[in-house]
Chains A and B, each alone.
Chain A
Amino acid sequence: MSLELRQVSKNVDGETYIYPTDLRLEAGVFNILLGTTLSGKTTLMQLMAGLEKPTSGEIWFNGENVTSMPVQTRNVSMVYQQFINYPNMTVFENIASPLRVAKMQNSDIKNRVGKIAEILQISQMLDRRPSELSGGQQQRVAMARALVKDSHLILFDEPLANLDFKLREELRDELPRIFSERNSVVVYATTEPSEALLFGGKTATMFEGKVTQFGDTGEVYRQPNSLKTAQVFSEPPLNTAIVHKIGDVFKISDDVSWPVGQKYAQIPDGEYTVGIRPHHVYPHRMSDSNIAIEGVVQVAELSGSESMIHFRTMGNSWVSLSHGVHVYAAQEKTTLFADVANCFYFDANRKLITA
């Protein structure tokens, strides 16, 4: 099964919500939409589902143009950030509701609900009402309802955002397993890069109504095609600086420069933007490819095993995320080490230099 967007766009009252977008999503992998709030993830999902009509472009499902097909006839399921269940029905009836609409036999319904409840570990709760369940269990019920019918397209709109941290971890572990055997196109919207990475599959990064890149999740993360993609796909935020290539050195300032090296030897001299992920900036020199950077610490956040150091350097706010506990006082002057072997260079159009 496959879902294809062909030059799909959406304008509302003269404002562009989605710029013309091409996207081809397949069954069998997790398709992730990654972007901040208001980047257009929800609108794009509504277009995919048929809840919204595209302003232009076509939507094809399995080689069939479904652009003008209403959502009721498309066989779509959706799970939202809020736990949406029927409050006056038992968990069983909640899960069974799509099957009742489809006028399925009672015995079949029982069978199916039982199976899906087992997969989502809510078999013990089928007689209860949603209000008697915890948040995590309520969301499991909502998911079960979305999964119980054989939907061709299953959409998740930040389903874990309202859950406790540990519950999120648990469901993140389970979700890919549940979907690996299904023959449906699965789309999952999230704001968190770490969540996208954990699910693997394919990721489309979104920024202000545009899909900036689409590909295998690991590839998008390690080879972002543009500065925007790298920023969307970095948590904590990507550290950036303006760098000048002059002959065989990259130079940020008189104090901070490093050799260009073989890989980028062929690119023309001029101004570039360098991006370094926070976990490639260390409090101590780790290798020969580290360059020293002077900074003033704003605040150091220590978790039990890691340190996140926020500091100002070269007119920018940078973050370093490293193993171990490193204590700094606010306003302390310090030297940190950036690994230039692990950085990205972007040209004047903010495109990745792939030389």
Chain B
Amino acid sequence: MNKTVNQKAWFLVLPVLLLVAFNAIIPLMTVVNYSVQETFGDNNFFWAGVLWFEEILRSERFHASLGRQLFFTFSILAIEIPLGVIIALAMPRKGVWVSVCLVLMAMPLLIPWNVVGAMWNIFALPDIGLLGNMLNGMGIDYNFTRQPVAAWATLLAMDVWHWTSLVVLLAYAGLVSIPDAYYQAAKIDGASSWAIFRYIQLPKMKRVLTIAILLRFMDSFNIYTEPFVLTGGGPGNSTTLLSIDLVKIALGQFDLGPAAAMSLIYFLVILLLSWVFYTLMMRNEE
């Protein structure tokens, strides 16, 4: 076989390589650079080896924020995914209401993140906020600026309000792609609504749900703006998620080394968990 070998194709990949280098690899290498050095802010750098990594991994503060982060992420996944699927199932498949529902669903996604935080902050204020005032009026003692539980509840509610729509839209797209014949066959086979969901709708939604879970997982792990505006990580450190903690260390205390090390660990955790998620969900595919 006289296969022609042509290496010119590599030049075509070059622009992409350069672009990725500038916006991902070079900044990342800067972070790696910081993470293995000690600096006192006057542009003097000393080799520190894996010191910062050891320190971060041993630090209770890091453990606590990682724990809070994981709790946050799994809580919102546990709420948003089933809720999104339920809403998608309840939405009409045909008729004029389809577009109305879709527009309503898309609304929260269009609002800038800091505005969402500010909105909920005002909405939940115990004295003048609609939600806070109402809850207190009903006899529930609620103050998210003072009570950790209330702060968490508000934080989760805000995220659910903001992002469930994304899951709904993806799940809905999966649902409408199922041909009518499947439902008809299931009716004829005498399948219950649960069986229809379990054996037709869920398998057909699997791909989009995988995407939804991955997106929500990564986004929630990176979340910063909204909790920062809403609670600022408080009361105390009770809602200090990883990203907020990172910014505190890097900009508040200007500990560039530990902050860089933490960033990398943070990055690796996301990468690892995403990979685990993906393989788990795709395992049954083959």
Contacts and interface: CB of A to CB of B under 8 A. Distances in A.
B3 interface: yes
Interface of B: 1-3
B2 to A, nearest CB: 6
Interface of A: 11, 55-56
B259 to A, nearest CB: 46
A264 B88 CA distance: 74
Contacts of B3: 11, 55
Identify the 3 closest CB pairs spanning chains A and B, nearest first: A56-B2, A55-B3, A11-B1
Contacts of B1: 11, 55-56
A11 B3 CA distance: 10
DSSP majority for the B interface?
loop
Nearest to A53: B4
6 contacts: A11-B1, A11-B3, A55-B1, A55-B3, A56-B1, A56-B2
Contacts of A55: 1, 3
B5 to A, nearest CB: 12
A10 to B, nearest CB: 12
A343 B10 CA distance: 58
A55 B2 CA distance: 8
Contacts of A11: 1, 3
A107 to B, nearest CB: 43
A11 B4 CA distance: 12
A2 B46 CA distance: 76
B1 to A, nearest CB: 7
Nearest to B2: A56
B167 to A, nearest CB: 31
Contacts of B2: 56
A8 to B, nearest CB: 13
A307 B2 CA distance: 53
A118 B38 CA distance: 83
A6 B1 CA distance: 15
A56 B3 CA distance: 7
B90 to A, nearest CB: 31
Contacts of A56: 1-2
B148 to A, nearest CB: 57
Nearest to A16: B1
A56 B1 CA distance: 8
A348 B2 CA distance: 32
A333 B2 CA distance: 58
A55 B3 CA distance: 7
B206 to A, nearest CB: 27
A11 B1 CA distance: 10
A56 to B, nearest CB: 6
Nearest to A11: B1
A141 B63 CA distance: 67
A55 B1 CA distance: 9
A15 to B, nearest CB: 12
Nearest to A55: B3
B6 to A, nearest CB: 11
A180 to B, nearest CB: 40
B280 to A, nearest CB: 29
A11 B2 CA distance: 11
A132 to B, nearest CB: 21
A19 to B, nearest CB: 11
A55 B4 CA distance: 8
A68 to B, nearest CB: 11
Nearest to B3: A55
A7 to B, nearest CB: 11
A56 B4 CA distance: 9
A236 B1 CA distance: 38
A146 B201 CA distance: 41
B139 to A, nearest CB: 60
B223 to A, nearest CB: 42
A12 to B, nearest CB: 12
Nearest to A14: B1
B3 to A, nearest CB: 7
A117 B2 CA distance: 47
B175 to A, nearest CB: 24
A7 B2 CA distance: 12
